[in-house]
Amino acid sequence: MAKRIFITGIWHETNTFAHGRTELDDFYAYQYSEGDEIFAAFADTNTEIGGAMNAAMKLDLNLIPGLFAGAVPSGLVTAEAYQTLVKRTLELLEGAGEIDGVLVHLHGAWVAEGATETDAQFLAAIRSKLPPGTPLVATFDLHANLSEELIAQADALVGYDTYPHNDMGARGAEAAQILHRMLWSTRRPVKILRKLPFAPPPQVQGTASEPVAGIMAKMHDMETWGGIWSASIAWGFPYADVAHLGVGILVQGDDHGHALRIADDLAMTIWRQRGDFDAGLVEVEDAVRRAMAAPGGPVMLVDVADNAGGGAPGDGTTILAKLIDQSARKAVVVLCDPEAVRGAKALGAGAMFSGNVGGKSDDLHGPPMPLAGEVVFQEPVRYQRRGDYMTGNWIDLGEVAVIQADGVTVMLTEAKAMPFDADHLTAAGIAATMQQIIVVKSAIAWQAHFRSFAKGEIYVDTPGICASNLKRFEYTKLDRALYPIDDDGIWPAK
Ligand SMILES: [Zn+2]
């Protein structure tokens, strides 16, 4: 008879430096499904659940749905949201009847009020309801801040190997395969975690670029060695002020000594190259000048500090101000500003807009910017992602208005737009390939799509809660020196 596998997940990347809290409604608004709704939501998507569903079919596993909740990366999650989601998961687990195994999809950088080891505590809560010996396999994001506590709660864990993340389906399938292997034997892998005193900003974590590409290739080679079940490197999410911040190397295999040697080898390889993780930021005025002077477009101006997918508000005006100052042509900026959208909606398409845009969520991403121009588009926007990043996900931007202010096109949205593809621009009538300058509020997730046609990219030194210069932040929870937050760290630890 097919084994019964409970599948569930909660996904949140928490920026503890962000203003405001992440509430239950933020999960309901972005991604929430339970029971069979999960299968409808994730079938044929390149997500962990989509991948696990395909693998389960091949492996003859009977998936029993729990819930899947995800919120846009944002500030500390409220205790109420945390407790409600965990409680509901446990209710669904109890109602699921006899279970042979569990798959849990995590982010690994989730921080809730009163639960500093949130992902680990969530797994522990599930574990507490399972008969001893029930195998549990978890997946985590490449930006996870792994900890010993988390690793201890699962029999095996599988992390994304790509950033931009386009292997979520494959990792979900891998987790199901590892679980399947455990269901038919009592064998469990030895898990070795190495934590480096190193926290590179996401901008330099891209797996298609050096130094990460070479390190991942080395890891993948080691993964094929005899006796190794799976290896992952979680490069960490540095905008979380938690004690377990930093790069984690996880090696799982049959033999303790063998897994340990591989983990130490990878750790030393990364540590020796820490100086090569250079963000190469360009000052704003100079960045705009260079983009305007480039022979062809679009040139991407990357506003890492206002990374909408990393917990920033996505309403930063620092680059927009310079584009207007320097009379840029064919430049596009997307800002999340519900108030300005309402103003434009009241006017309607074809009217002249005049008002402040952006800079309203906090005082860390530039001031509100006076803008005047024609409302050239005004409609609600809902679209399905077609790129290879989070393919098939439905995105709702709410009401959207596009203001044409001379050569600068400003797209105002009610919900934050994460530029994993150009579908949000297309949906609002903006042709990405025709632009000279596109501002993206993203670290590197934008690369998955835009790099296929962009003529240049400049990482801009803007202020904000996802800034690549980590010395801008005040960490209070670290118990050791971490490079590059501190001038250096110590490895191997004494
Ligand atoms: Zn990530």
Q: What is the CA(330)–ligand 1 centre distance, in A?
A: 31
As a whole number, mean pLDDT of residues 443-469 equals 93
* Confidence (pLDDT) at 310: 79
Answer yes or no: is pLDDT of 453 > 80: yes
**CB contact at 8 A, 429 and 376:** yes
As a whole number, mean pLDDT of residues 439-452 equals 92
Q: What is the CA(328)–ligand 1 centre distance, in A?
A: 32
How many Å apart are CA 85 and CA 192, to the nearest integer?
30
Q: What is the CA(70)–ligand 1 centre distance, in A?
A: 13
Q: What is the CA(236)–ligand 1 centre distance, in A?
A: 9
Answer yes or no: is pLDDT of 388 > 80: no
Instruction: Identify the residue with better confidence: 157 or 116.
Output: 157
Lowest mean pLDDT of 383-392, 450-459, 485-494, name the range. 383-392
Q: What is the CA(352)–ligand 1 centre distance, in A?
A: 39
How many Å apart are CA 27 and CA 163, to the nearest integer?
23
Answer yes or no: is pLDDT of 35 > 80: yes
Q: What is the CA(234)–ligand 1 centre distance, in A?
A: 9
Lowest mean pLDDT of 111-125, 157-171, 378-392, 435-449, name the range. 378-392
Q: What is the CA(426)–ligand 1 centre distance, in A?
A: 25
Q: What is the CA(348)–ligand 1 centre distance, in A?
A: 37
As a whole number, mean pLDDT of residues 232-254 equals 97
Q: What is the CA(452)–ligand 1 centre distance, in A?
A: 21
Q: What is the CA(60)–ligand 1 centre distance, in A?
A: 30
**CB contact at 8 A, 101 and 182:** yes
88-139 pLDDT per residue, tens: 999 999 999 999 999 999 999 999 999 989 999 999 999 999 999 999 999 9
Answer yes or no: is pLDDT of 494 > 70: no
Give 3-state DSSP helix, strand, coil % of the chain, rounded to 5: 30, 25, 45
How many Å apart are CA 52 and CA 170, to the nearest integer?
8
* Confidence (pLDDT) at 493: 77
Answer yes or no: is pLDDT of 346 > 70: yes
* Confidence (pLDDT) at 393: 82
Quickly state the pLDDT bin for 433 (edges 50, 70, 90): very high
Q: What is the CA(326)–ligand 1 centre distance, in A?
A: 34
Q: What is the CA(142)–ligand 1 centre distance, in A?
A: 5
The residue to which tokens 């680990």 are assigned:
120
Q: What is the CA(191)–ligand 1 centre distance, in A?
A: 22
Residue 249 β-bridge partners: 194, 233
Q: What is the CA(414)–ligand 1 centre distance, in A?
A: 23
As a whole number, mean pLDDT of residues 471-489 equals 94
User: What is the chain's mean pLDDT, rounded?
Assistant: 95
Answer yes or no: is pLDDT of 478 > 70: yes
Q: What is the CA(96)–ligand 1 centre distance, in A?
A: 30
* Confidence (pLDDT) at 298: 98
* Confidence (pLDDT) at 446: 92
Quickly state the pLDDT bin for 191 (edges 50, 70, 90): very high
**What global pTM score does this model have?**
0.86
Q: What is the CA(171)–ligand 1 centre distance, in A?
A: 13
**CB contact at 8 A, 161 and 207:** yes
* Confidence (pLDDT) at 389: 75
Lowest mean pLDDT of 68-77, 326-335, 385-394, 445-454, name the range. 385-394
**CB contact at 8 A, 200 and 236:** yes
Distances, alpha carbon 461 to alpha carbons 200, 394, 466, in Å: 16, 32, 11
